[in-house]
Amino acid sequence: MRLARCATFLAAARPGHAFALPPWSQIRAAAGPPADRLFEARQRLFGGGAPEVIFWRDSAGWCPFCEITWLVLEEMEVPYEVKTVPLRRYMLEGETKDAEYTRLVGPEGVVPGVQFRAASGFGPAVQSVERICDELRRRYPERYPAGSDAVRARACEGKASV
């Protein structure tokens, strides 16, 4: 697709002629609609009918612990819904953390948090990358990234740092 877009622009440049760009309407038509951006998605279902987890992350997408959790959910293709909470340092004046989340985890509202689907709705939030990874491995062992036992022990089981 990207090659086709480049070809549109290159077709406008002919040897020996002045370079002229096509009008914006032609560029927009050739480019097509913008691709969905992962960080703006509110749900990732991977073909499933409904989210199996609610993934609470920071609203800016800067928290490295949220990013690790996010990557694991993506790699495992666990259908999830995203809810965001502002990081304390980046909260605007008068802004507060989501009341639903602080009821689940306490007034600090530390992220990441993952709620797993239960018989009636979603259960309590599991926090910290280590606990979240442990719970994901327990619930979805066939989807959990295998990788190296040594790296997994260091990265996901809190024994040391990678």
0.85 surpassed by pTM: no
pLDDT at residue 20, as a whole number: 77
User: pLDDT by residue (tens digit) across 15-37?
Assistant: 666 677 889 999 888 888 887 78
Question: How many angstroms separate the CA atoms of 160 and 71, rounded?
Answer: 20
Rounded mean pLDDT, 101-117: 93
* Range in 34-38, 49-53, 98-102 the model is least confident about: 34-38
- In 3D space, the residue among 63, 96, 95 whose CA is nearest the CA of residue 82 turns out to be 63
pLDDT at residue 152, as a whole number: 62
Q: Would you call 152 helix, strand, or coil by DSSP?
A: helix
pLDDT at residue 156, as a whole number: 63
- Mean pLDDT across the chain: 85
Hey, what are 113's tokens?
């948090």
pLDDT-based confidence at 146, cuts 50/70/90?
Answer: confident
Hey, what are 144's tokens?
């959990």
Judge whether residue 5 has pLDDT over 60.
no
